[in-house]
Amino acid sequence: MANQPIDLSVDFCGVKFKNPFLLSSSPVSNSAEMVANAFEAGWSGVAFKTLNSDRVRIVHPSPRMNPYHYGSKRLVGLQNVEQISDRPLRDNLLDFLYLKKNYPDRIIISSIMGFSNDEWAYLAKASEDNGADMLELNFSCPHMTIEGSGHKVGQANHLIEKFTETVKKSVSIPVLAKMTPNITDMIEPALYAKQGGADAIAAINTVRGISQIGLDDWTARPKVAGIGAISGTSGPAVKPIGLRFIADLAKCEKLGLPLSGQGGIETWIDALEYILLGSSTVQVTTGIIHYGYRIVEEMIEGLSDYMAERDVERVADLVGKALPTLQETDKFDLNSQGIASYDLDRCVGCGQCLIVCNDSGGQALEWDSQTRRPRLIEDKCLSCMVCSFVCPVSGLITYKKQPSSWQRRETAVIGTELESELKLEPIKKMPGSLI
């Protein structure tokens, strides 16, 4: 237990945050009334809902979200067609002033999105003038259809550079570029943002997806007056994608910018994974949509205890700690082989291991129908560990490394009597190939 309060503060682009946990720009950061509640709960800062310059009136589609459930597990993902703020710019800026006055130790990151250089500059300046500590450039809203806006910018490198440069010229506060995952490689657009002067990268925005199709109306959800659309997916379902992009950015020495990680964070463990892959701060929306602002209490306590147990003094000491061992798959030592190991004293006899080993593994299990227990044929075990994924008793099935002399049996051929019918020539050496 962390008996002494642990210092969770982080320095991010020269700005001090009480802890690495921020609200991301979304419905959870729509107004000062909401953000004040979040600050009271313990969040250290907010990426305020993306400002609108009042040039066009924003109307939200109705309804605007749809859950992605897994069995009775709610909200393993979330689909949304949320727009930028539908409030007048003046109201949002008044909210900035209120928050800075009442919560001077909390950080306001003003998320902005423009359609032209002038609009980007206008919003940036207005934000800085009214207390924003940082800016986040929304290059990634996933359901914009107009070229030169939202994720369309995030997919057009020269626009990223141009708009970032414009903003940087207009303000002196640090600037984050928020990137879309709806591309194959985030490093390139991130480098353009750096080229434009960005101080940090925030990722990921939501992943374009479809969460559900109505079976009666054959229409994707959310259904807005009879129409569905591909739009942003978030929540635990996209965490692996978010972690991957953060790791990509963090591994890129040429980029070398601080990162604000986001995508599917609900617990301190999720947050820590983002931190270990190189994020200095993390941002949350879907977790709050599911559980409310209170989840930050568990994030603060969980991370504090983790650090206390390991004598980690500062969050900064954890940032990127998983990167050295994160390599391309060709770095694996294939001579190191192992098998699944079963602690049958704890087995309840459901036999799910048997089913998955037969149907997706190495057929390495036998079943004793009297005792209702599996028996491992060790030299058939592929060490795929799928059995351990479905076993209802945590830790019953573990990985056991085998000595280097150990040999796995080859997968048997069932139809050897058909050898005479086999039509196969040995593969020829191809020019330029290694074989």
Rounded to the nearest whole angstrom, what is the least distance from the CB of residue 345 to other proteins in the complex?
12
CB of 391 to other proteins, least distance (A): 9
Binding interface with other proteins (CB under 8 A): 71-73, 348-352, 354-355, 367, 369, 372, 392-393
Q: Let me know if 13 is a catalytic residue.
A: no
As a whole number of angstroms, the distance between CA 89 and CA 210 comes to: 31
Q: What is the distance between the alpha carbons of residues 108 and 44, in angstroms, rounded to a whole number?
A: 9
258: how many CB neighbours lie within 10 A of its CB?
21
CB 357 within 8 A of CB 313: no
Catalytic residue among 141, 357, 381, 387: 141
Residue 426, classed as helix, strand or coil, is coil
Nearest to 47 by CA among 347, 260, 329: 260
User: Which residue number, 94 or 355, has a Cβ lying nearer to other proteins?
Assistant: 355
| Least Cβ distance, residue 77 to other proteins (angstroms) | 17
Nearer CB in complex with other proteins: 227/344: 344
CA distances to 189, 299, 340 from 7, in Å: 34, 13, 41
Q: How many CB atoms lie within 10 A of CB 90?
A: 11
User: 57 vs 73, which CB is nearer to other proteins?
Assistant: 73
Minimum distance from CB of 353 to other proteins (Å)? 8
Which residue, 127, 155, 150, is CA-closest to 138? 150
Nearer to other proteins, 31 or 352 (CB): 352
Q: Which is nearer to other proteins, 240 or 349 (CB)?
A: 349
Query: CB atoms < 10 A from the CB of 379, how many?
Result: 14
H-helix or E-strand spanning residue 299? helix 295-309
Q: How far is the CB of 358 from other proteins (least distance, A)?
A: 9
Joined together, the tokens standing for residue 427 give: 């593969």
Rounded to a whole number of angstroms, the CA Rg of the chain reads: 26
| DSSP-assigned letter for residue 431 | T
Give the residue numbers annotated as catalytic, written as ranges: 141
